[in-house]
A and B are shown apart, each in its own frame.
Chain A
């Protein structure tokens, strides 16, 4: 169970670091809000258009913010050389990955919690199914954070890593983006819970598979 302790300690360290790095946090929130506003202006003011676009807008904003935060989470450590130090600790590499994953996931969830009511407000979303929406955000951001955390580590010591991360990530996260947006749409528009659950299943399946795959492969990514 000491592994679990390592994971949570690392997660807490990373998460607090991200929150304390006020510049990054403010920038991310500001960026996400800008995305919302631009899209609201571009797609509105027709209520129907806004409501239809709402799920997509929410997840696009979340996705952008998620990529930024994931890239940041390695940036700080790399610059101080702390990442190599971290790798030298006698803890399994997998716990490092899981710790960072937890931090990124938490961060994205917090962002999601902020973005959901904001998007609902601007884009006229019906939040009556909010418990399921929360679940959707949890599983959707987990999947996204999985890929982001993994690929951020992979690209962390490559040139052009900032532009490389979204390029590498995009074809892999398409299924979660699709499932998350569709689930959100079913939960806030048509109210077809059955279909929403189907999309949620895809999300959960994705999360499970990549949790295993990425944790197993992380070791190879951090060798140098």
Chain B
């Protein structure tokens, strides 16, 4: 059997490694800012620090859902397998970030509101988004044909994107009680009452979360492209070997 290729799957390129390390450093900086530099909040005390971890993750999660849908649309338009790689990578990120958002939201909710779950608008919304993303991967897992899988995933990701504004509305109006701003637990947005120092540290942590997302995305796509190349170069995959996404 001839050697499958003269080039092996390339190692992580230098620039990507450097980017990853930089992101790690910035994550450390963000953590220090959140845990040490930030003063405690008037109302929530040191619990405000959870907000930095939690809100940043929620925002980037939504960004990831958007990217998954955009790449899905791209795939529907030009049917290039690599578009599906970008799409599923974004969706994986979205799944991770929304899982974090749900657990982080509960972690924030218990000490501040006394209960793990309280049907707060943002917590409800992140739970719905998480459920949608789980559905995305369940569907993917059930389709073997790569083109059909890519196509159906793209459709699902677009529906998910379309559903978010409505789910947000539903979550907001579910309780029809406006929680007091200073106890805006899962804080999807920056409160007007937030002092500048909190805002800046939050924005920094959002940036860090976004950079982590970008790094993970690039690395995941790099691996996905390699998998794609292997799939197309081996006309018949080795017995029993199917690369499943």
- Which chain B residues in 124-182 approach chain A with CB under 8 Å? 128-129, 131-132, 135, 138-139, 142-143, 148, 151-152, 154-156, 158-159, 162-163, 166-167, 169-170, 173-174
Contacts of B151 in A (CB 8 A): 220, 223
In whole Å, how far is A52's beta carbon from the nearest beta carbon of chain B?
Answer: 15
A224 interface neighbour in B138, B148, B156, B173, Cβ under 8 Å: B148
Number of interface residues of A (CB under 8 A): 29
A56 at the interface (CB under 8 A from B): no
Contacts of A154 in B (CB 8 A): 139, 152, 155-156
Q: B173 and A178: CB pair below 8 A?
A: yes
Nearest chain-B residue to A160 (Cβ)?
A: B142
In the docked arrangement, what's the CA distance between A167 and B133, Å?
11
In whole Å, how far is A180's beta carbon from the nearest beta carbon of chain B?
Answer: 11
- Which chain A residues in 111-155 approach chain B with CB under 8 Å? 150, 154-155
In the docked arrangement, what's the CA distance between A146 and B129, Å?
20
Contacts of A224 in B (CB 8 A): 148
Number of interface residues of B (CB under 8 A): 26
Q: B170 and A178: CB pair below 8 A?
A: yes
Contacts of A83 in B (CB 8 A): none
- Residues A179 and B170 in contact in the complex (CB < 8 Å), given A154-B155, A158-B139, A210-B162: yes
B96 at the interface (CB under 8 A from A): no
In the docked arrangement, what's the CA distance between A172 and B155, Å?
13
Main secondary structure of the interface of A (DSSP, over half): helix
- Residues A175 and B135 in contact in the complex (CB < 8 Å), given A154-B152, A159-B142, A160-B142: no
In the docked arrangement, what's the CA distance between A220 and B163, Å?
19
Q: B163 and A172: CB pair below 8 A?
A: yes
In the docked arrangement, what's the CA distance between A206 and B169, Å?
11
Contacts of A217 in B (CB 8 A): 155, 158-159
A23 at the interface (CB under 8 A from B): no
Q: B131 and A221: CB pair below 8 A?
A: no
A175 interface neighbour in B129, B139, B170, Cβ under 8 Å: B170
Nearest chain-B residue to A210 (Cβ)?
A: B162
Q: A213 and B159: CB pair below 8 A?
A: yes
Q: A175 and B156: CB pair below 8 A?
A: no
In whole Å, how far is B78's beta carbon from the nearest beta carbon of chain A?
Answer: 13
- Residues A223 and B142 in contact in the complex (CB < 8 Å), given A172-B159, A178-B173: no
Contacts of B166 in A (CB 8 A): 175, 202, 205-206, 209
In the docked arrangement, what's the CA distance between A171 and B170, Å?
11
A168 at the interface (CB under 8 A from B): yes
Q: B159 and A164: CB pair below 8 A?
A: no
In the docked arrangement, what's the CA distance between A214 and B155, Å?
9
B218 at the interface (CB under 8 A from A): no
Q: A168 and B155: CB pair below 8 A?
A: no
B76 at the interface (CB under 8 A from A): yes
Contacts of B148 in A (CB 8 A): 223-224
In the docked arrangement, what's the CA distance between A39 and B165, Å?
32
A30 at the interface (CB under 8 A from B): no
A170 at the interface (CB under 8 A from B): yes
In the docked arrangement, what's the CA distance between A97 and B13, Å?
47
Nearest chain-A residue to B147 (Cβ)?
A: A223
Nearest chain-B residue to A206 (Cβ)?
A: B166
Q: B155 and A220: CB pair below 8 A?
A: yes
In the docked arrangement, what's the CA distance between A213 and B135, Å?
19
Contacts of B169 in A (CB 8 A): 175, 202
- B-contact bits for A161-183, CB 8 A (1 contact / 0 none): 00010011011101100110010
In whole Å, how far is B132's beta carbon from the nearest beta carbon of chain A?
Answer: 5
In the docked arrangement, what's the CA distance between A9 and B156, Å?
29
In whole Å, how far is B212's beta carbon from the nearest beta carbon of chain A?
Answer: 26
Contacts of A179 in B (CB 8 A): 170
Given A154-B139, A178-B170, A213-B158, 4 extra CB contacts under 8 A: A150-B159, A168-B135, A171-B129, A171-B135
Interface residues of B (CB under 8 A from A): 76, 128-129, 131-132, 135, 138-139, 142-143, 148, 151-152, 154-156, 158-159, 162-163, 166-167, 169-170, 173-174
Interface residues of A (CB under 8 A from B): 150, 154-155, 158-160, 164, 167-168, 170-172, 174-175, 178-179, 182, 202, 205-206, 209-210, 213-214, 217, 220-221, 223-224
